């Protein structure tokens, strides 16, 4: 059948409004709205058949029951819901009444057309309302990961807005040996701060084993600047609480929930963090996409360490240099260290020491500088962990050896492993 014949069949199911007529033929022409397409078909049929032209207002249409006349009103409601947030991209979704979806199906069936002919009511509604919202707010449609989604529930007469998280990437240097990376809830009170109604004596009612963390010194500044409801800190691995993170710093991402402003001044945030504490310093803050979290979590970067080592008895200098030479370039087999076995999977890891250099301080102290593959436990490389690490410095020397101070000097060297376009975001220009 021709388009004209199909149009006659659809119009015979009157009363049907122009938008519902045109929607059936949405895949047969481009550059027109469904209402324009439907009106053109109605006019053509009237002229071809020499019949009176009779338009059907949406409120008389049995298919959409007047909904096709409400696009502007729904767009107004979406604009009101979104205009308090600073956004760049958006998407509109629709929950269509089941009866209207059934009417849409019956129209095609009665006209003898395939059930998937043209465009669905829901898809058309998303597009018509979405187009109006985009034009009024100056936003870009994004069907993959928009900044915000407005969900129209036509039956419930509601607009539900979902503001997706925003992300800020950077690197941190941890200058304290008494600071965990993330919040550490107190185990005595399960983070409640109370035990049977009384303040917890272990954490002094704070709910945390340690009063501060890198997360608590960094994330609140980002969250406040973005006007978010909460923030989560994602680090590219972590150092021990008593280890400093120096040098180039460790990559991290702060994820902010329900932000009102996705494009804050990151230089001002960086300055505020660095001015507020001497325990942590951040650099290179940049706006990022949701992909940055996955990149950070999956990073298994090589690392550079500096470890101060103490021996239980005096060690011969030549023997120490020989042991360091044995570790230089060595492949290490490590069972899960005893100190973390309660929270890590028990398995044997094989990791490589790329470089091991030693500086002898005196006959019971030395300083090691190590370049290692990601995932190697340096303290156990030194102390042997009861032969769970092989080879180890203690094992090669046959004496007890302990790390008394540990610094991480670099994560993935001096180059930033995140210089990839798809994880960073540029603020929109006015």
List the pLDDT tens digit at each of the 430 positions of the chain. Answer: 688 999 999 999 999 999 999 999 998 888 899 999 999 999 999 999 887 888 899 999 999 999 999 999 999 999 999 999 999 999 999 999 999 999 999 999 999 999 999 999 999 999 999 999 999 999 999 999 999 999 999 999 999 999 999 999 999 999 999 999 998 888 889 888 888 888 998 888 888 888 899 999 999 999 999 999 999 999 999 999 999 999 989 999 999 999 999 999 999 999 999 999 999 999 999 999 999 999 898 887 899 999 999 999 999 999 999 999 999 999 999 999 888 766 666 789 999 999 999 999 999 999 999 999 998 999 999 999 999 999 999 999 999 999 999 999 999 865 565 666 678 888 887 6
pLDDT score recorded for residue 246: 96
DSSP assignment string, 185-216:
B-TTTTTSSEETTEE-TTTTTSSBSSS--HHH
Q: Which residues contact 385 (CB under 8 A, 6 or more apart)?
A: 334, 335, 337, 338, 377, 392
Four-point Cα dihedral 127, 131, 134, 135, nearest 10: 180
pLDDT score recorded for residue 204: 87
pLDDT score recorded for residue 30: 82
369-384 as b/e, with b when 16 or more CB fall inside 10 Å?
bbbbbeebbbbbbbbb
Q: Which residues contact 294 (CB under 8 A, 6 or more apart)?
A: none
- Whole-model pTM? 0.87
Interior CA angle at 243 toward 241 and 246, to 5°? 125
The encoded tokens of residue 23 equal 């929607």
Strand partners of residue 94: 152
pLDDT score recorded for residue 167: 97
Report, in angstroms and rounded to the nearest whole number, the Rg of the chain calculated over CA atoms. 32
Which residue in 325, 411, 428 sits closest to 371, CA to CA?
A: 411
- Catalytically annotated residues: 240
CA distances from 382 to 159, 169, 327 (A): 60, 33, 10
Residue with tokens 């006959």: 363
DSSP assignment string, 359-380:
EEEETTEEEEEEEE-TT--HHH
Alpha carbon distance 55, 90 (integer Å): 34
pLDDT score recorded for residue 341: 67
The helices-and-strands tally (H runs, E runs) of the chain is 12, 16
Strand partners of residue 308: 367, 405
Which residue in 255, 233, 257 sits closest to 174, CA to CA?
A: 233
Four-point Cα dihedral 352, 214, 235, 357, nearest 10: -20
pLDDT score recorded for residue 289: 94
pLDDT score recorded for residue 418: 62
CA distances from 327 to 131, 212, 379, 397 (A): 64, 36, 14, 12
Alpha carbon distance 28, 12 (integer Å): 20
Residue with tokens 């388009």: 3
- Domains assigned to the chain: 3-163 (no CATH), 166-300+416-423 (3.30.70.2510), 303-411 (3.30.70.3190)
Judged by DSSP in three states, 278 sits in coil
Contact 396, 358 (CB under 8 A): no
Which residue in 303, 190, 312 sits closest to 247, CA to CA?
A: 303
């Amino acid at each position: 059948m021709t388009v004209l014949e199909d149009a006659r069949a659809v119009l015979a199911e009157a009363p049907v409004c122009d938008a519902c007529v045109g929607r059936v033929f949405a895949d047969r022409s481009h550059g027109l709205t469904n209402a324009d397409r439907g009106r053109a078909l109605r006019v053509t049929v009237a002229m071809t058949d020499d019949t009176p032209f009779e338009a059907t207002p949406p409120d008389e249409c049995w298919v959409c029951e007047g909904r096709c006349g409400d696009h502007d009103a729904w767009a107004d409601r979406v604009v009101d819901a979104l205009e308090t947030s600073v956004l760049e991209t958006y998407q509109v979704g629709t929950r269509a009444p089941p009866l209207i979806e059934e009417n849409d199906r019956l129209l095609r069936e009665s006209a003898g057309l395939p059930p998937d002919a043209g465009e669905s009511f829901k898809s058309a509604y998303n597009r018509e309302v979405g187009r109006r919202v985009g034009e009024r707010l100056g936003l870009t449609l994004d069907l993959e990961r928009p900044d915000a989604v407005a969900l129209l529930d036509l039956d419930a007469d509601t607009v539900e807005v979902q503001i997706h998280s925003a992300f800020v990437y950077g690197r941190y240097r941890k200058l304290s040996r008494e600071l965990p990376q993330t919040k550490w809830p107190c185990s005595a009170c399960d983070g409640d701060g109370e035990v049977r109604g009384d303040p917890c004596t272990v954490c002094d009612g704070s709910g945390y084993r340690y009063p501060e963390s890198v997360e608590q010194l960094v994330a609140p500044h980002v969250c406040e600047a973005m006007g978010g409801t909460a923030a989560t800190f994602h680090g590219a691995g972590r150092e021990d609480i008593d280890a400093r993170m120096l040098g180039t710093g460790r990559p991290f991402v702060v994820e902010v929930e329900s932000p009102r402003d996705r494009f804050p001044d990151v230089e001002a945030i960086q300055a505020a963090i660095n001015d507020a504490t001497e325990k942590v310093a951040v650099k290179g803050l940049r706006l990022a996409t949701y992909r940055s979290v996955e990149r950070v979590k999956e990073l298994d970067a090589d690392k550079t360490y500096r470890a101060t080592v103490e021996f239980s008895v005096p060690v011969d200098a030549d023997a120490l240099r020989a042991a360091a030479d044995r570790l230089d370039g060595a492949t290490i087999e490590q069972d899960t260290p005893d100190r973390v076995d309660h929270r890590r999977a028990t398995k044997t890891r094989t990791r490589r020491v790329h470089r091991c250099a030693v500086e002898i301080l005196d006959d019971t102290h030395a300083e090691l500088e190590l370049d290692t593959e990601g995932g190697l436990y340096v303290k156990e490389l030194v102390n042997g962990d009861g032969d769970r690490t092989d080879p180890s410095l203690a094992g090669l020397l046959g004496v007890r050896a302990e790390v008394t101070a540990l610094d991480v000097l670099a994560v993935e060297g001096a180059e930033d492993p995140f210089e990839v376009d798809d994880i960073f975001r540029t603020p929109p220009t006015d």
